[in-house]
Structure 1
């Protein structure tokens, strides 16, 4: 089954910020995990996952921002910002397979197709619209959500943006026709389509508490120049959200391919290892129905009310799920340029490295609530956790005092399990001459670590599907903390006699093979640093996939791991 994950397509009226990074990181985590646990893109087996991100490049805000920034055309303005967003994705190791832009020709053609289907099915009509319009949100708000401000201006209660009275002739979408269908969808047919359930309950409450009004889906060219023409009516431009939401289906081919379920080659998707590689989608309808959108809570209405209604009206199947996340605060307050507290992701990456930022964001966030970015915690995290716990543990085992490679050869060529190795070597009572104290404690740790590592791949699958990232990363640290405690209790550097050689080798093998497994499994989270850890252990690239994330699966690594003067994998600069 070929699945598909998407970020929102971001609105490029300014440079990317930490919120863009977070949405992209969640999608990247899901995508990398799917690839790690499935066939490689260039193997003979079918590919199992696609990942789309990109830009929403039309609309009044873009038109105004282009003028404000002295660009001759909106297209030149969005071209310049597309470079910035792609740069950010590269810096953040976002491994997308397609970067879509709503100015892409294949997308424009799909927007025309979507409009035509909805129009032919009788869900689009022309009428005069009078209401409160938000330029910032590019949408109308009902009178019930408008509040007059002390200075005489007006704002809407939903997004707190300014609104102005507007009267114009538009095309309308019969959104009111889909209220009961949407309630049925979220209550009975697809209860998990909006995740977490908190956001589904929010949307259901809105659907039940007030009638849906028909939606204006075009703008007159007197006000909006930068957009896609309404078919057969050059006096109107298509509403930016009707245009933008269609990107998700444009990315995997044409609407016709999905409706007819005809196999197609999508040359617009590629992998960084081979940008010319063409991807075949054998069943576009199946891929579309296995598409998951990741969005911020501020655009939940567009993705869970407007988008499914557009698709229903066109007779197109619905995607699998919409995963919603909260926003990032800075030191407990909302980020804003006026407060000077906007977190610059590029600055964080330059100071602490991308993997530190990736791990920090995933460990200090949950989908249900807004999350707080604290710069000092990011700095302390790298020093205490990555350097002090993870990197230092590998560095200690790579001391010239030991030979990991000898230990690997010794214990991977036996027919015993890792538990049986321990029982045979540590079967005799531990006395003072063994130089190992606290025998019962380290034996218990040994079994705990084995159990936790054996269940980690399956636990990881579930926690990534539900994006319980903090819980997942805490499991990694629990194992690493236990490994650090284990090596402190067993003190292999003190086991110098010939009689203790087997014990010392088993301790070193057990710790370092555990770290090898953790490094393989952490590749979707910290792809660069995990690769550095595996490089330090001389693990060849062909043995870094999911199938090797178990004890004794790699029978020949760490050939030069204990050579003198090899630098630490990670250190504070």
Structure 2
């Protein structure tokens, strides 16, 4: 049986349309899942929508529609973005309507209660609706929510609480042992610091009245609904049908050697502290990795619907295409830190890296094969130092790009791949096949043999690039491989000989943008 892996995005609130930050997380998780598949794993890739929040209720009230009408409409915008970005999802869970989610959230609550980890008490605290989170005064910045820059509300309620404090030592052990990895290390240190500062028990329900009757009922208490985060976190295993012994859960969670959550830094404590503690309480396996990205900013400010500085990703895909948006976000932005969006930068990297770099390389080699060898791919005739250098670089790039992705560093992986793009373009200029062709036509047999070798060397490098680029720009990857007669799903360990194939000149992979 092959190794298995589970990869998830967080599930976003659907109170408004998705912004570029959602697209970034989608693409990171998709690239990681595709990379794991290329490494031989059977991967389950999950996303979904977080629909049981008060934010959704308030947004619906503002529009004069029901919460059900709002979430049913808005979830389609996220599904459209997922399709436009070319994500290869295995499943998509909706927390307000998926029967497996409703059953799973209820069962995890029941198990935590049975363990003695749920209790009721009166509570007053500072609550940010935007975060759906209580804050202590020390966590505020100038009296405001650090995420949304607005003063929190003072909320007094009678709620159920989870005994998070009971699991501090076990959480530290899981984190320090590496059984639960947090990537990057700075986020691990942040998590350990948060736990060691003293874990307080957390509120895990809201009154049905304040929730406007929207949410998953607390078992045995119709006056309370589950706090949205407690409900939402359980989606990761609920979507696999764990409550009824689904084979997906057994294969992709219980038996998986990687159970990876991809998430933004603002929800770190939920995924690296609250969720693992809930699983410990319920007697279920923990994730193995929590991979934490920063924010995409606009003029230095976090993208936020509340501040009105969102960048619409669908508009970017419409203007530049799927490959350009995927490449820009994965090649230009740190996998772990914040980065500022620039449409000018997107267009520049499209022209420089994709059109002039990769696209030009594929066009050159196919057109030269047609011009000089009637489209028939030649064998290698001679091997000299420039060819050995290209071969060595191909091997090094394949190894080092994979190692970077094993570390969840998509930017470093793409930077290394583009070292190969630039070197092969430079190799073509150095060998000047147009001069070799002219000499061969004049009867120089050695020039003809070297021409064959140059064409074959570049074709093999292009084939490597087509395979290497699959996690990042799968559409372009497929077109590159098809241009040299390979199936779109070709793998490095199952390649046929290139000799004797008949190629046609490749149309432009990336038509240059006019300024």
TM-score by length of 1: 0.83
Compute the displacement of 1:125 (Å): 0.7
Tell me if structure 1 keeps the 8 A contact 2:174–2:180: no
Q: Are residue 53 (structure 1) and residue 47 (structure 2) matched?
A: yes
Within 5 Å, give how 1:417-428 maps onto structure 2. Answer: 421-423=381-383
3-state DSSP of counterpart to 1:293: strand
User: In the alignment, what sits opposite 2:22?
Assistant: 20
3-state DSSP of counterpart to 2:372: coil
Compute the displacement of 1:48 (Å): 1.0
User: In the alignment, what sits opposite 2:255?
Assistant: 286
User: In the alignment, what sits opposite 1:6?
Assistant: 8
Question: Which of residues 466, 484, 504 is equivalent to 1:561?
Answer: 504
Compute the displacement of 1:337 (Å): 5.7
Compute the displacement of 1:331 (Å): 3.9
Structure 1 stretch displaced more, 461-470 or 115-124: 461-470
Question: Which of residues 193, 199, 212 is equivalent to 2:199?
Answer: 212
User: In the alignment, what sits opposite 2:364?
Assistant: 396
Question: Which of residues 58, 74, 88 is equivalent to 1:81?
Answer: 74
Compute the displacement of 1:248 (Å): 0.5
Tell me if structure 2 keeps the 8 A contact 1:407–1:506: no
Structure 1 CA distance for aligned equivalents of residues 283 and 341 of structure 2: 43
Question: Which of residues 421, 427, 449 is equivalent to 1:502?
Answer: 449
User: In the alignment, what sits opposite 1:532?
Assistant: 479
User: In the alignment, what sits opposite 1:233?
Assistant: 221
TM-score by length of 2: 0.92
Give CA-to-partner distance per residue, 1:373-411, whole Å, 9 cap, x none. 111111111112211121112222222422275344x34
Tell me if structure 1 keeps the 8 A contact 2:5–2:252: no
3-state DSSP of counterpart to 1:51: strand
Structure 2 CA distance for aligned equivalents of residues 525 and 53 of structure 1: 18
Structure 1 stretch displaced more, 120-129 or 448-457: 448-457
Compute the displacement of 1:161 (Å): 4.0
User: In the alignment, what sits opposite 2:287?
Assistant: 319
Cα–Cα, structure 1 residues 517 and 405, in superposed 2: closer, same or farther, change >3 Å?
farther
Cα–Cα, structure 1 residues 35 and 393, in superposed 2: closer, same or farther, change >3 Å?
same
Question: Which of residues 399, 406, 431 is equivalent to 1:458?
Answer: 399
Question: Which of residues 174, 193, 199 is equivalent to 1:185?
Answer: 174
Structure 2 CA distance for aligned equivalents of residues 338 and 322 of structure 1: 27
Compute the displacement of 1:60 (Å): 0.9
Give CA-to-partner distance per residue, 1:418-464, whole Å, 9 cap, x none. xxx534xx5xxxxxxxxxxxxxxxx3x43232112123333232211
3-state DSSP of counterpart to 2:215: coil
Q: Are residue 145 (structure 1) and residue 139 (structure 2) matched?
A: yes
Unaligned runs of 5+ in 1: 39-46, 258-263, 267-279, 412-420, 427-442
Tell me if structure 1 keeps the 8 A contact 2:417–2:468: no
Q: Are residue 519 (structure 1) and residue 507 (structure 2) matched?
A: no
User: In the alignment, what sits opposite 1:176?
Assistant: 165
Unaligned runs of 5+ in 2: none
Structure 2 CA distance for aligned equivalents of residues 64 and 340 of structure 1: 17
Structure 2 CA distance for aligned equivalents of residues 122 and 340 of structure 1: 44
Tell me if structure 2 keeps the 8 A contact 1:538–1:557: no
3-state DSSP of counterpart to 1:236: strand
Tell me if structure 1 keeps the 8 A contact 2:382–2:449: no
Give the greater-gyration-radius structure (CA). Answer: 1
Compute the displacement of 1:192 (Å): 5.8
Tell me if structure 2 keeps the 8 A contact 1:405–1:557: no
User: In the alignment, what sits opposite 2:103?
Assistant: 109
Within 5 Å, give how 1:189-268 maps onto structure 2. Answer: 189-190=177-178, 193-209=181-197, 211-224=198-211, 225-255=213-243, 257=245, 264-266=246-248
Compute the displacement of 1:314 (Å): 1.1
Pairwise CA RMSD of aligned residues?
2.2
Cα–Cα, structure 1 residues 157 and 379, in superposed 2: closer, same or farther, change >3 Å?
closer
User: In the alignment, what sits opposite 2:433?
Assistant: 492
